[in-house]
């Protein structure tokens, strides 16, 4: 790495919500900036009047914030810089690297058509450059509409990419691009170059769908006699069917993963592995660990496949990394939203909630699984799983539960260890397998046949509740069999 201070940016266009590709690019830039102790800036590319929607800017920055990504400096809005760009088109023109193109839309279209037939780039120069200086001045003075086009030089354009190495393109393959439209506004590529230069961007890390733009941008830098930044083009993110990830194909935005109970740390961790690898035999990392490892040396050029299963596995691992208290804070609003309890009830029983999430965390993959699996910890009016009740709620089981009730009622310590011993001793005395007691007990206290460790679950529910539930189940079995 050179000694220039690192300054990177992401430049989202507010034409949709934050998609995984932009999030991945943001993460890579942020990690790169943090690793090299540089700056990370967000620039909103909102100049495309037809596609940009101001109301999408906040959801994008909110989704980035959720991922822990914020601009180190004030947000830069391209729409507020529109009058910065025109002068540079003029500068390039004055330096002889651009020309005024007076061709009409129809003439351009006809030339394009012909060029396509002749398998060459369209030629805008012949008609434009055949005009004398005086003719050009006359037309400009008469406000004849025209664009300013970059004069692509002969030869080839090259740059060293941090991801893909040395890239080159023969200039005959690049057409003379418009720098300024007939209304004087700058086109996308000129605006990006001016912004990156004026913002002092040292490294441009973005998706490899921008490589064609980069060749054009390198030529604009040269025309302006500016040093281009160092580029790094990350591979495309593909669906498992190898198509490019796209909203149209039903792929989800970052917000949707958030709603589905993915932790921001997991999303961050997973997305950073698309196009970069720590070259270690592990995949779960905290942000500080990623910052330490994130350098340009481990970028991967090959296309990355978005594997939701892997995201879920990483999410599960990040859930395990959280303390019960942290998880309780995240799960509490979900329980309220699912109508399982109220905010007030939880505030007064925080310890209980902590124990519930501690008990369930090994069994969940997403935050959403907590409300789905924990209803019986908060609600008493659950029904018994029908199939399991048919199997385990037998008249014989009612008798066992009655005996267990008595033993549990007389316990002075209601902890997992004592509960296990009590149940095992009773099974031995009755001469039955423990399962004969375990299954009906689990069903009685939770309504479902599967769940966390029975004894720990009983401990968390606590003696009064467990006894109430056993009593209710005994009555239920008796009613069913009378
Ligand atoms: N606005 C572009 C996009 O959303 C980013 C361009 C860039 O990073 O240079 O894809």
Alpha-carbon gap, residue 341 to 49, rounded angstroms: 46
149 pairs with which residues across the strands? 99, 178
Alpha-carbon gap, residue 403 to 423, rounded angstroms: 10
From 12, 77, 159, mutation site for ligand 1 pocket: most ligand atoms within 8 A of C-beta: 12
Q: What is the mean pLDDT of residues 4-14?
A: 95
Residue 338 CA to its chain's centroid (Å): 24
Q: Which residues, 6+ apart, have CB-to-CB distance to 87 below 8 Å?
A: none
pLDDT at 12 exceeding the cut of 80? yes
pLDDT at 334 exceeding the cut of 90? yes
Distances (CA, A) of 111 to 108, 116, 130, 298: 5, 9, 16, 45
- State both tokens at 459: 């401990």
- The residue among 171, 196, 159, 167 whose CA lies nearest residue 301 is 167
Give pLDDT, residue 1: 63
Domain ranges, ordered by start, for the chain: 80-193, 322-364, 386-480
- The residue among 194, 189, 196, 160 whose CA lies nearest residue 174 is 189
Q: What is the mean pLDDT of residues 179-195?
A: 95
Residue 303: pLDDT band with limits 50, 70, 90: confident
Report the topology of domain 386-480: Arc Repressor Mutant, subunit A (1.10.10)
- State both tokens at 396: 């014989």
Q: How far is the CA of 165 from the centre of ligand 1 (A)?
A: 21
Atom from ligand 1 closest to the CA of residue 15: 4
Taking the CB of residue 317, how many other CB atoms lie within 10 A of it? 18
pLDDT digits (tens, 9 = 90+) for 109-141: 999 999 999 999 999 999 999 999 999 999 999
Structural contact between residues 475 and 395, judged by C-beta atoms closer than 8 angstroms:
no
Q: How far is the CA of 207 from the centre of ligand 1 (A)?
A: 8
Give pLDDT, residue 296: 96
Q: How far is the CA of 188 from the centre of ligand 1 (A)?
A: 10
- State both tokens at 85: 């760009």
Give pLDDT, residue 161: 98
Calculate the average pLDDT of the chain: 95
pLDDT digits (tens, 9 = 90+) for 230-267: 999 999 999 888 888 887 787 899 999 999 999 999 99
Atom from ligand 1 closest to the CA of residue 25: 8
Q: Quick one: CA dihedral 296, 270, 286, 259, positive or negative?
A: positive
pLDDT digits (tens, 9 = 90+) for 392-427: 999 999 999 999 999 999 999 999 999 999 999 999
Residue with the two structure tokens 């069903």: 443
- Examine domains 80-193 and 386-480 and report if their fold is the same: no
Query: Measured in Å, how far apart are the chain's first and last C-alpha atoms?
Result: 82
Q: How far is the CA of 193 from the centre of ligand 1 (A)?
A: 12
- The residue among 365, 378, 129 whose CA lies nearest residue 266 is 365
* Verdict on whether the full-model pTM lies above 0.85: yes
Give pLDDT, residue 313: 98
Q: Of how many residues is the chain composed?
A: 482
Residue 442: pLDDT band with limits 50, 70, 90: very high
Alpha-carbon gap, residue 389 to 6, rounded angstroms: 64
Structural contact between residues 402 and 442, judged by C-beta atoms closer than 8 angstroms:
no
Q: Which residues, 6+ apart, have CB-to-CB distance to 385 below 8 Å?
A: 443, 447, 448, 449
- The residue among 382, 403, 375, 384 whose CA lies nearest residue 480 is 384
Q: How far is the CA of 192 from the centre of ligand 1 (A)?
A: 9
Residue with the two structure tokens 């281009």: 228
CATH for 80-193?
Answer: 3.90.800.10
Give pLDDT, residue 240: 87
- The residue among 265, 272, 364, 271 whose CA lies nearest residue 318 is 265
Angle of helix 324-337 relative to helix 369-378, nearest 10 degrees? 80
Q: Which residues, 6+ apart, have CB-to-CB distance to 22 below 8 Å?
A: 10, 12, 60
pLDDT digits (tens, 9 = 90+) for 48-105: 878 889 899 999 999 999 999 999 999 999 999 998 998 999 999 999 999 999 999 9
pLDDT at 355 exceeding the cut of 70? yes
Distances (CA, A) of 74 to 30, 43, 213, 239, 401: 15, 9, 26, 34, 66
Give pLDDT, residue 4: 80
Give pLDDT, residue 49: 79
Alpha-carbon gap, residue 272 to 306, rounded angstroms: 11
From 7, 13, 52, mutation site for ligand 1 pocket: most ligand atoms within 8 A of C-beta: 13
Q: What is the mean pLDDT of residues 133-158?
A: 96
Atom from ligand 1 closest to the CA of residue 12: 4
**Protein residues with CB under 6 Å of any ligand 1 atom:** 11-13, 45, 192, 206, 210
Q: Which residues belong to the active site?
A: 247
Please name the residue whose Cα sits nearest to atom 5 of ligand 1: 11
Q: How far is the CA of 216 from the centre of ligand 1 (A)?
A: 14
Phi-psi region of 87 (alpha: psi -120 to 50; beta: other; left: phi over 0): alpha
Atom from ligand 1 closest to the CA of residue 209: 10
Distances (CA, A) of 142 to 107, 195, 211: 20, 32, 39
Q: How far is the CA of 196 from the centre of ligand 1 (A)?
A: 11
Atom from ligand 1 closest to the CA of residue 9: 8
pLDDT at 2 exceeding the cut of 70? no
Q: How far is the CA of 402 from the centre of ligand 1 (A)?
A: 69
């Amino acid at each position: 790495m050179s000694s220039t201070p690192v300054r990177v940016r992401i430049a989202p266009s507010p034409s949709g919500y934050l998609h995984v590709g932009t999030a991945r690019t943001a993460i890579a830039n942020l990690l790169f900036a943090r690793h090299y102790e540089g700056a990370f800036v967000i620039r909103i590319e909102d100049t495309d009047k037809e596609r940009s929607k101001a109301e999408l800017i906040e959801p994008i920055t909110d989704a980035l914030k959720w991922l822990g990504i914020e601009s180190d400096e004030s947000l830069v809005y391209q729409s507020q810089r529109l009058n910065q760009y025109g002068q540079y088109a003029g500068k390039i023109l004055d330096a002889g690297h651009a020309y005024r193109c007076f061709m009409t839309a129809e003439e351009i279209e006809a030339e394009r058509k012909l060029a396509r037939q002749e398998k060459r780039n369209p030629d805008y120069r012949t008609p434009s450059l055949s005009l004398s200086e005086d003719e050009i001045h006359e037309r400009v003075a008469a406000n004849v509409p025209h664009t300013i086009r970059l004069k692509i030089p002969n030869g080839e354009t090259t740059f060293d990419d941090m991801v893909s190495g040395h890239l080159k393109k023969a200039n005959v393959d690049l057409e003379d691009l418009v720098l300024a439209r007939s209304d004087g506004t700058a086109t996308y590529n000129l605006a990006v170059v001016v912004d990156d230069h004026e913002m002092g961007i040292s490294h441009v890390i973005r998706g490899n769908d921008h490589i064609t733009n980069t060749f054009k941008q390198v030529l604009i830098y040269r025309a302006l006699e500016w040093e281009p930044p160092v580029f790094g083009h990350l591979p495309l993110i593909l669906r498992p069917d190898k198509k490019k990830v796209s909203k149209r194909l039903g792929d989800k935005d970052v917000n949707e993963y958030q709603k589905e109970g993915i932790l921001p740390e997991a999303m961050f961790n997973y997305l950073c592995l698309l196009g970069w690898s720590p070259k270690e035999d592990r995949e779960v990392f905290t942000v500080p660990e990623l910052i330490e490892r994130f350098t340009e040396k481990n970028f991967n050029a090959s296309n990355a496949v978005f594997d939701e299963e892997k995201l879920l596995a990483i999410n599960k691992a990040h859930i395990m990394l959280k303390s019960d208290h942290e998880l309780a804070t995240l799960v509490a609003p979900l329980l309220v939203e699912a109508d399982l309890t109220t905010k007030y009830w939880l505030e007064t029983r925080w310890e209980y909630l902590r124990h519930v999430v501690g008990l369930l965390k090994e069994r969940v993959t997403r935050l959403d699984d907590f409300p789905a699996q924990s209803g019986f910890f908060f609600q008493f009016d659950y029904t018994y799983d029908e199939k399991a009740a048919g199997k385990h709620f037998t008249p014989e089981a009612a008798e066992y539960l009655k005996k267990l009730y008595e033993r549990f009622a007389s316990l002075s310590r209601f902890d997992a260890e004592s509960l296990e011993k009590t149940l095992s001793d009773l099974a031995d005395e009755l001469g039955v397998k423990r399962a004969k007691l375990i299954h009906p007990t689990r069903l009685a206290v939770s309504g479902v046949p599967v769940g966390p460790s029975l004894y720990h679950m009983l401990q968390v529910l606590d003696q009064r509740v467990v006894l109430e539930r056993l009593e209710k189940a005994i009555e239920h079995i008796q009613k069913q069999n009378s």
